């Protein structure tokens, strides 16, 4: 990807190398050239839109910057394409006009920075509350993090197709574990269209981190982005800082991170498999899977002191070592878990009721999966052969052997099969980590981190790729932190999965992507000086 792109557009670009197989280009010519560059990149068979970052750089560059990041999964290359947008005309050409996966990115940067994507197909708000005033943009440098300006409540919903009625799931609904609003347009029982409204859980974490918290404090904030895959967020954030600062993490710390990342994948997938069984009415399997999951939660508590939110990752390594007796504990529990899991999977997949409810339901074809840049088990169930652990190795994964499960049917059953096989692969990976655990230090020594350094990193969380971008500031604080969780991609594809199926299928289809709304919407605003939390009113509902 990098070589071909330079050959085509090199003369009008300024290049910056961030790391091995990782570069950033700034466009030095007309903004009108930008869409052609993006089209050229996305035409690559294995190239996907990784993330997009909007930054207020008016104090440095007298402009806003918009950076699209692309990943070539076959070559392990990451390429950034940056465009500077002047304050007096904050407009840039929309990528979402020809690539659906850019839609939420461009709606978000319009909300939070006031930079408009010209030609954006859907100009409605994405992140900001319904009653947020026009012309106030919270990620601009001149906006104080503690402000909550009053405004007029309004939100333009999509009109249902002629002859259809609206069936609402949410914002609060028994089938949803967090606030979300799916407006299903139905004719009889058939779903003919969907309008999604989310971001009821947005908590302003990126603004909170700007210049107020030091690098290690943010590790603990990052882990609280998600109640299930929090460790993956703290790990990927630390990796981005380590890349920006050139910090070499000790090998033993990398192995300990890998062990806990796979324990997290285990308990997350076991939770989902149990929920899937519950949603089809197979509660015997549901309770049995969750009984097995308790072994993993108990192990996590013995290793870190907590069932969840381990508090183990810091920049440069980990805070606690793995003691020998705990290693033996993990080995004993894994042996029991492996046997019990095989039994419950056989029980689950022998149920005709479970198979019939999942097979051929919520199909997402491979071409649509690629168009939305979906990731994780959702992508692999649709035949997209992509796993960050293999394609962009991090922690200890480059030293380990594992298979990436792949299905091609793209339905709920395929997503279940992928997760079931990934549980088995996770057990194998943990066994390998324990066998090959090196000795040595668990924390690197490093000094002040220079201002203006950039880093971007990804991990394969249980739901798919989590991508964090950082731009360092002064006084060992961040200037910009951008978080993109796996559900951010996968949730946008849900309307395509729902159309053509029935209302009764909707809860199962939605749950099949294992959605994490808080992960997607990113973090209660806390006044650090007073210690009090303040909830920003979000129209219909909030989630803390």
358 annotated binding-site participant? no
At 24 the three-state DSSP class reads strand
Biggest alpha carbon–alpha carbon distance for the chain: 68
Q: Does the pLDDT of residue 111 top 70, yes or no?
A: yes
Least-confidence region, from 39-43, 167-171, 256-260: 167-171
Percentage of residues of the chain with pLDDT beyond 90 = 74
Q: Does the pLDDT of residue 532 top 90, yes or no?
A: no
Contact 228, 257 (CB under 8 A): no
6 annotated binding-site participant? no
Percentage of residues of the chain with pLDDT beyond 70 = 94
Is the domain 205-520 a CATH 3.20.20.80 member? no
- The C-alpha torsion from 488 through 494 and 497 to 500, rounded to 10°, is -160
> What are residue 64's DSSP bridge partners?
56, 85
Question: Rounded mean pLDDT of 392-418?
Answer: 97
Predicted confidence at residue 267, as pLDDT, reads: 96
Least-confidence region, from 119-123, 205-209, 348-352, 393-397: 205-209
> CATH number of 1-156: 2.30.30.100, 3.40.50.880, 3.30.460.80, 3.40.640.10?
3.30.460.80
Predicted confidence at residue 205, as pLDDT, reads: 87
Predicted confidence at residue 518, as pLDDT, reads: 65
Q: Does the pLDDT of residue 537 top 80, yes or no?
A: no
Predicted confidence at residue 526, as pLDDT, reads: 35
318 annotated binding-site participant? no
Q: Which residue has the higher pLDDT, 179 or 248?
A: 248
Q: Do you find a cis peptide bond into 171, omega within 30 degrees of 0?
A: yes
375 annotated binding-site participant? no
Predicted confidence at residue 19, as pLDDT, reads: 81
Burial class (CB in 10 A: 0-12, 13-18, 19+), 192: middle
DSSP string over 173-217: -TT-SS--EEEEEEETTEEEEEEEE--TT---HHHHHBTTSBHHH
Predicted confidence at residue 31, as pLDDT, reads: 80
Contact 70, 14 (CB under 8 A): no
Of the candidates 346, 332, 334, the one whose C-alpha atom is nearest the C-alpha of residue 273 is 346
**Which stretches within 56-119 are classed as H helix?**
58-61, 103-113
Q: How confident is the model at residue 520 (pLDDT cuts 50, 70, 90)?
A: low
229 annotated binding-site participant? yes
Could you read off the pLDDT of 412-429 as tens digits, one per residue? 999 999 999 999 999 999
Backbone angles phi, psi at 511, to 5 degrees: -65, -20
Could you read off the pLDDT of 11-28 as tens digits, one per residue? 878 888 888 889 888 887
**Domain locations in the chain as residue ranges:** 1-156, 205-520
Contact 180, 196 (CB under 8 A): yes
Please give the Cα distance from 120 to 102 (Å, whole number): 10
Question: Rounded mean pLDDT of 345-372?
Answer: 96
Predicted confidence at residue 112, as pLDDT, reads: 95
Q: How confident is the model at residue 530 (pLDDT cuts 50, 70, 90)?
A: very low
Please give the Cα distance from 325 to 164 (Å, whole number): 62
Predicted confidence at residue 173, as pLDDT, reads: 76
Least-confidence region, from 141-155, 278-292, 384-398, 504-518: 141-155
Question: Token match 């099969």: residue?
Answer: 417
Could you read off the pLDDT of 374-395 as tens digits, one per residue? 999 999 999 999 999 999 999 9
pTM value is 0.92
Q: What contacts 450, CB < 8 A, 6 or more positions away?
A: 245, 472
Predicted confidence at residue 472, as pLDDT, reads: 95
Backbone angles phi, psi at 71, to 5 degrees: -125, 130
Contact 63, 57 (CB under 8 A): yes
516 annotated binding-site participant? yes
Could you read off the pLDDT of 28-62 as tens digits, one per residue? 767 888 999 999 999 999 999 999 999 999 998 89
Task: Count Cβ atoms below 10 Å from residue 42 Cβ, excluding itself.
Answer: 20
**Which stretches within 280-407 are classed as H helix?**
283-304, 324-349, 352-358, 366-371, 376-381, 388-391
Question: Rounded mean pLDDT of 463-486?
Answer: 95
Task: Write the secondary structure of 112-141 as one string of H (helix), E (strand) and C (coil).
Answer: HHCCEEECCCCCCCCCCCCCCCCCCCCCCC
Mean confidence (pLDDT) of the chain: 90
């Amino acid at each position: 990807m990098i070589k071909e792109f330079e050959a085509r557009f090199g003369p009008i670009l300024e290049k910056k190398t961030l790391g091995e197989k990782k570069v950033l280009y700034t466009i030095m010519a007309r903004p009108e050239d930008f869409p052609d560059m993006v089209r050229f990149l996305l035409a690559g068979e294995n190239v996907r839109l990784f993330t997009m970052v909007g930054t207020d750089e008016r104090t440095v560059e007298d402009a806003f910057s918009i950076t699209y990041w692309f990943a070539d999964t076959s070559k392990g290359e990451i390429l950034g394409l940056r465009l500077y947008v002047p304050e007096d005309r904050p407009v840039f050409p929309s990528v979402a006009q020809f690539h659906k996966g850019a839609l939420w990115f461009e709606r978000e940067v319009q909300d939070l920075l006031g930079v408009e994507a010209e030609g954006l197909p859907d100009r409605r708000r994405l992140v900001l509350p319904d009653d947020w005033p026009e012309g106030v943009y919270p990620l601009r440098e001149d906006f104080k993090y503690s402000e909550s300006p009053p405004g007029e409540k309004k939100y333009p919903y999509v009109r249902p197709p002629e002859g259809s009625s609206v069936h609402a799931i949410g914002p609060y609904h028994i089938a949803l574990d967090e606030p979300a609003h799916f407006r299903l347009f139905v004719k009889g029982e058939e779903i003919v269209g969907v309008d999604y409204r989310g971001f009821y859980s947005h908590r302003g974490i990126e603004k909170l981190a700007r210049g107020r918290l030091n690098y290690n404090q943010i590790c603990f904030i990052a882990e609280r982005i998600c109640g299930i895959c929090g460790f993956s967020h703290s790990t990927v954030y630390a990796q981005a800082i380590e890349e920006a600062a050139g910090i070499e993490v000790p090998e033993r710390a990398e192995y300990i991170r890998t062990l806990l990342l796979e324990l997290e994948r285990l308990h997350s997938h076991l939770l989902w498999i149990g929920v899937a069984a519950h949603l089809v009415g197979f509660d015997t399997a549901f309770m049995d899977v969750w009984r097995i999951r308790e072994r993993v939660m108990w192990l996590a508590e013995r290793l870190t002191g907590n069932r969840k939110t381990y508090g183990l990752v810091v920049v440069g390594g980990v805070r606690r070592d793995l003691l020998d007796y705990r290693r033996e504990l993990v080995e004993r529990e894994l042996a029991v878990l492996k046997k019990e899991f095989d039994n419950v999977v056989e029980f689950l997949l022998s149920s005709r009721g479970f198979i019939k409810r999942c097979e051929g339901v919520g199909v997402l074809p491979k071409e649509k999966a690629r168009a939305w840049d979906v990731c994780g088990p959702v992508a692999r169930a649709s035949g997209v052969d992509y796993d960050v652990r293999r394609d962009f190795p991090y922690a200890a994964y480059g030293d380990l052997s594992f298979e990436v499960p792949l299905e091609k049917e793209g339905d709920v059953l395929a997503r279940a099969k992928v997760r079931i096989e990934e549980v088995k692969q996770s057990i194998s990976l943990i066994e390998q980590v324990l066998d090959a655990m090196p000795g040595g230090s668990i924390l690197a020594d490093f000094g002040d981190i220079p201002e203006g350094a950039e880093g971007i990193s990804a991990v394969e969380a249980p739901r798919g790729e989590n991508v964090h971008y950082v731009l360092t500031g002064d006084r060992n604080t961040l200037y910009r932190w951008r978080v993109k969780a796996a559900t951010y991609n996968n949730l946008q594809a849900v309307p395509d999965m729902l159309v053509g199926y029935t209302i009764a299928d909707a809860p199962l289809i939605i749950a099949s992507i294992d959605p994490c709304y808080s992960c997607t919407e990113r973090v209660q605003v806390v006044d650090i000086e007073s210690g009090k939390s303040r909830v920003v009113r979000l129209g219909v509902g909030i989630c803390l």
